[in-house]
Structure 1
């Protein structure tokens, strides 16, 4: 059987079954869309319809009772006897029971029934009221009995009643209607013969209006309540329902639904139909729950191919969306985020003890990287502007690596930073108001060369030091930590915005990060010459991480504080730049990209598209880093 029919929701299936009550179209021809309908091959068998021979019936003889007139002095006793027999339902003569001890070789004459006795009374007195009423009651009861026999197809019994009425009361008012009922039942009998022949030839619905179901219904239209026709329809429905159940058990759900719909057309609303529909729904729901559980387990193992197959199977099995959407959403999330979800914040344990940096999951998506040609302060290296699309989300450290973070790495690995090996780095000389190289300065020192607080962003680190820290995190967690690509950094900094600055267009109207404001001053009251008018963040030099409000994607300090290393080699334009968000790296390059403004940066350098070239061995008081984690 074909299996490409669309799965019907429960409500739609119920509507189809109800609609089938008056329709004559074949269910195999129904179904939306251009796809071929599911057709039962048995109904395509062009078997000749052959009527079975009529069953032989013995001719019913006339009713010839022996009726003797009752003497006048015996009327009361006879009426009493007739009344008693009537109450017992002994309306007609029946063989007498043997009462003697010695069996007689001759059969005993039949004992008269209530009707014979009443007729005997009337033979003596044709106006006797009690007898007339008794005859009327008995004939009415016999007529009802005859009609019940007609409904069951017992024509000999029904015709015997007709013979009794004709003999007992030829002018009976119900006789004509009873005879018409006899003829109608005979016509219904012929329709049932035709229906059974069509059923034997597998012509259940087809040709339209000429199948077995149509013939059974014609029989019922001839004689309402004709039990052989009702039994035929019930038998057909039971066969369809059994096949529907078997198809559902075998996973052939379109076939099962077609058979259920056809069963509904045969006897709409029957108890058997409702019971079987409920049973099949329970069967399918149990199978759906099993498939969904397997799908969720596959997502847990990140076997998304298996999870997708289980979801597809569940969609074919389930009659409702409950549970499907949740698995579909989990698969979609896992496809883009692994075990995580957008906006999720997490820390991972380190094998050597403690935890890694706090990370936030950034959503996958796309953005326009670079600056438009009319942006104020734009440099040529910020173009051409181009779309970058991230097929997967990624996690970014919420803040720059701190002195405490880097100390844990150094103590665990014995790493000696480039500045440590050189014995010097560039610091801010407050007295001269310039940057200058000082000895005995490395990651343990702050922007001015003093011992650094643990919660400050680590500075005086070269590109190789940042790379080594990320490699250590990867080894400690078993996950892929690295520096962000230039595209990832700008994507996170913009957080869905396309204006020149992360906060919008124009100067900031609130404190957004550690930048050069005209309200900032050093310990010896120095002020910035490149200050942002009307801006004061309260810091001269790097601020402790997270001193300012969180940014759009839940990060801190992408705007200001310290500039940060990214993975990319320097290129003086975006021509041929990757479009998937990956880093643009050339083996052996010595110039790397630095992104983001620092505590000493002007407003132009705080633009989202700003980038600068920096030798990979640079160490100074304005440059740090943060990591990302691949999902």
Structure 2
């Protein structure tokens, strides 16, 4: 049934090979090639629990003029001339897109999960236009007015109170499948005569980094992210609710009630997903590249070394597709520039949306 209706062929009895590194035994990256339709067990929701591979040589590949400073990133974008445009989706509903300059960068990380390594040099051969923000409920409703992003349920029952809305017009659309995201891009193409698609995994990381080699474009895991991103933080204590008589926040909750993993050092004031553009943009004028909701990419889940010519940009092969960017439900370590998850293309995930890339814009 799975093969007939989804096109996926998973061999659940396959024994995976292992490779011994300097400190411990880890999964072989080469072995992923035979399992491209199914990421490692637990990868979907527990990537941060994977062992980290230890390397004796922690140096990254070297590229002249990379990484580069924020001022250089802004200068390169400004040299493109027109770097910002507005696309009218329907009357009163627009889409802001920005132009990202071509270049080379080091993709991946030696400090992250095994599927972020080995870091490799990737070339983005041409400038590309990408939406400044994730696609909103309002924008997606122009394509599918029946779509429902639903709510984030309360951690308790209260008659007549459903939870925290994910359906506001300016919130990012979620619970869209990869196939629906592709269909939205095709719909935009038919309306405007310009090709829209999902970004590749490389384009997503390159745009996110904006010339940086640090875990985040704004710094490290110890940087106060509250001005830049919407992540799991001290605000999450408001999920601890008493719903017996009325819905109210429990002050000073005990750890058994306050159980959602979070970074309590900061407070970005976003409980669930927030309106697009609520935080400071990156040097390339992109919002929420590390947060708010995960974003579908065009790319199937494949091992590094990354190569655009090995089928990673082909929409035909079955199998799981990469999501990038992190969400309001994730701690910083799961939202770095190189971190990824993978889901089957038919999945409707509570914290996964998308953004688009526009091609052939002169």
- For Structure 1 versus Structure 2, the TM-score category normalised by the shorter chain is 0.5 to 0.7
1:343 Cα shift? 6.7
Aligned pairs for 1:370-519 (under 5 A) are 370-372=108-110, 375=111, 378-411=112-145, 428-431=152-155, 448=163, 450=165, 452-511=167-226, 512-519=228-235
Between the aligned partners of 2:183 and 2:156, the Cα distance in structure 1 is: 34
Q: Is residue 344 from structure 1 mapped to residue 105 from structure 2 by the alignment? A: no
1:602 Cα shift? 1.6
**Secondary structure class of the residue paired with 1:404:** helix
Between the aligned partners of 2:170 and 2:232, the Cα distance in structure 1 is: 21
Aligned pairs for 1:42-191 (under 5 A) are none
1:587 Cα shift? 2.7
Change (3 A) 1:517 1:362: same
Give the conservation status (yes or no) of the 8 Å contact 2:295–2:352. yes
Between the aligned partners of 1:574 and 1:342, the Cα distance in structure 2 is: 34
Relative contact order higher in (CA < 8 Å, ≥ 6 apart): 2
1:366 Cα shift? 1.2
Give the conservation status (yes or no) of the 8 Å contact 1:516–1:528. no
Between the aligned partners of 1:601 and 1:401, the Cα distance in structure 2 is: 20
Please, which runs of 5 or more residues in structure 2 have no aligned partner? 1-75, 242-248, 250-256
Give the conservation status (yes or no) of the 8 Å contact 2:225–2:268. no
The equivalent residue for 1:249 is none
Between the aligned partners of 2:309 and 2:103, the Cα distance in structure 1 is: 12
Residues 299-334 of structure 1 show CA distances to partners (whole Å, capped at 9, x for unaligned) of xxxxxxxxxxxxxxxxxxxxxxxxxxxxxxxxxxxx
Give the conservation status (yes or no) of the 8 Å contact 2:140–2:173. yes
Residues 326-351 of structure 1 show CA distances to partners (whole Å, capped at 9, x for unaligned) of xxxxxxxxxx99xx93672111345x
The equivalent residue for 1:575 is 305
Change (3 A) 1:368 1:559: same
The equivalent residue for 1:12 is none
Q: Is residue 363 from structure 1 mapped to residue 78 from structure 2 by the alignment? A: no
Structure that is richer in helix per residue: 1
Between the aligned partners of 1:537 and 1:509, the Cα distance in structure 2 is: 9
Q: Is residue 541 from structure 1 mapped to residue 272 from structure 2 by the alignment? A: yes
1:620 Cα shift? 2.4
Give the conservation status (yes or no) of the 8 Å contact 1:403–1:453. yes
Give the conservation status (yes or no) of the 8 Å contact 1:362–1:396. yes
Change (3 A) 1:519 1:541: closer
Between the aligned partners of 2:274 and 2:172, the Cα distance in structure 1 is: 8
1:451 Cα shift? 7.0
1:520 Cα shift? 3.5
User: Which entry has the higher C-alpha Rg, 1 or 2?
Assistant: 1
The equivalent residue for 1:592 is 321
- After superposition, the CA RMSD in angstroms is 2.9
Q: 2:338 aligns with which of 595, 609, 613?
A: 609
So what's the TM-score if we normalise by structure 2? Answer: 0.66
Please, which runs of 5 or more residues in structure 1 have no aligned partner? 1-335, 434-446
Change (3 A) 1:618 1:344: same
Residues 374-400 of structure 1 show CA distances to partners (whole Å, capped at 9, x for unaligned) of x1xx11111221111122111110111
Change (3 A) 1:586 1:480: closer
Between the aligned partners of 2:358 and 2:312, the Cα distance in structure 1 is: 14
**Secondary structure class of the residue paired with 1:347:** strand
Give the conservation status (yes or no) of the 8 Å contact 2:152–2:166. no
Between the aligned partners of 1:428 and 1:344, the Cα distance in structure 2 is: 36
